[in-house]
Structure 1
Amino acid sequence: MKTSDRLKAIDNSRESWRASLSRVPPDDVTLMRLIRVASQGITAFTDPMLLEAGLTESSYHSLIVIVASGDKGITVTAVCDQVGQARANMTRILKLLEAAQLTKMRSDDRDARRKRVVATAKGRRLVRTCSERLDPVVVTAFSALGDREKRSLDELLRKLIASMSEAESEAQRRA
């Protein structure tokens, strides 16, 4: 299903959702669905290019974070925090990246018990290659927005993410 078809499906089913979820504000449900469709849209245009390079969205995002850390590398915990992955998932991702010789683990200079992940030259080249292929697609994906709209969207998403953190805490209390 194309992203535009998903958007039509949301519009076409809005009233039935409104009727079936009477206690949940319908605009909030619609926003959640729109965010999910936007996320699926990103996956739809990134996955084919990344899979060709042997990567997933999560492994590519992790590799970018590792490359951005430079020669000093980055702790596994910091990669988890920046990518938004659980430790178990990140361990699996990092093992795959290391097996592909895109990263390597080394001991921290100040505390040998701590491990740091460092990108190899091969990993840096792959990020550069993928970025060159993805850059024009990402520009196209956001081309409907002007600079002011992008700044507004950035601000709104940050507010939303902050309140989602509160919602996570609320959900844990109710579980």
Structure 2
Amino acid sequence: MAEELEGYPSKEIKPLLLLRLADRLLDSCFTRMLSAYSISASEYHMLAVLEVCDESTSSPGVLAELVGQTKANTTRILDLLLSKKLIKKKKNIVDGRRHDITITKTGRDCVKLCTNNTIGPDTKSMMAGFSPSQLKNLECLLSQLILVLDDRSRAGNFGS
């Protein structure tokens, strides 16, 4: 698939198109890996992020931003996780209009099981073709791109 982009005219756009392609392929891989656990890639990602939040608690808005989902899609994912008893939702003590989302023990067990049995080993084999320095460079470049895109998004500088 990447070869089809060889003739693309803009050297700035080609890396972004490759990132989009990699994102789609990774999502497809994660979906297949997690299907045995009756959990989607989006649900796993939400749980994994929630697990590393302070006190394993966050708000829906913060979670939406951290996992790159719309607020509407985040609500849908959280509703699925609630129905599976992988998270708990309660009103925020300080602001009754807000909710706090907390991962349950069952949710933690799910993340651990998926990570140890599937995500970890499969991701390791996916990345086996890269040297440690290539992985570090990739991480640095992606982190830098995320910062630039986040700054532009917050400033409303897209399309101008």
Tell me the TM-score normalized by structure 2.
0.84
| SS at 1:170 equivalent | coil
May I ask how many residue pairs the two structures share in their alignment?
A: 157
Contact preservation (8 Å) 1:70, 1:118: no
Work out which of the residue numbers 100, 111, 132 in structure 2 matches 1:127.
111
Matched, 1:139 2:124: yes
Q: Give the 5 Å matches for 1:7-46.
A: 7-10=2-5, 14-15=6-7, 17-18=8-9, 26-46=10-30
State the distance in 2 between where 1:116 and 1:108 align: 6
State the distance in 2 between where 1:123 and 1:113 align: 25
User: Could you tell me how far 1:57 is from its partner in structure 2?
Assistant: 1.8
Work out which of the residue numbers 102, 110, 115 in structure 2 matches 1:118.
102
State the distance in 2 between where 1:124 and 1:143 align: 27
| SS at 1:106 equivalent | strand
State the distance in 2 between where 1:34 and 1:7 align: 7
Structure 1: where are the runs of 5+ without partners?
Answer: 1-5, 19-25
Which protein has the larger Cα radius of gyration, Structure 1 or Structure 2? 1
- Are residues 102 and 49 of structure 1, via their aligned partners in 2, closer, same or farther at CA, if it must alter by over 3 Å? same
State the distance in 2 between where 1:58 and 1:104 align: 17
Partner in structure 2 of residue 164 of structure 1: 149
User: Could you tell me how far 1:68 is from its partner in structure 2?
Assistant: 2.2
Q: Percentage identity across aligned positions?
A: 24
- Are residues 48 and 70 of structure 1, via their aligned partners in 2, closer, same or farther at CA, if it must alter by over 3 Å? same
| SS at 1:118 equivalent | strand
State the distance in 1 between where 2:54 and 2:140 align: 28
Partner in structure 1 of residue 47 of structure 2: 63
Tell me the TM-score normalized by structure 1.
0.78
State the distance in 1 between where 2:81 and 2:61 align: 16
Q: Give the 5 Å matches for 1:64-79.
A: 64-69=48-53, 71=55, 73-79=57-63
- The runs of 4+ residues in structure 1 deviating greater than 4 Å are none
- Are residues 9 and 97 of structure 1, via their aligned partners in 2, closer, same or farther at CA, if it must alter by over 3 Å? same
- Are residues 155 and 72 of structure 1, via their aligned partners in 2, closer, same or farther at CA, if it must alter by over 3 Å? closer
> Which one is further off, 68-77 or 56-65?
68-77
Matched, 1:153 2:153: no
Letter in 2 for 1:121: K
Partner in structure 2 of residue 3 of structure 1: none
| SS at 2:39 equivalent | coil
Structure 2: where are the runs of 5+ without partners?
Answer: none
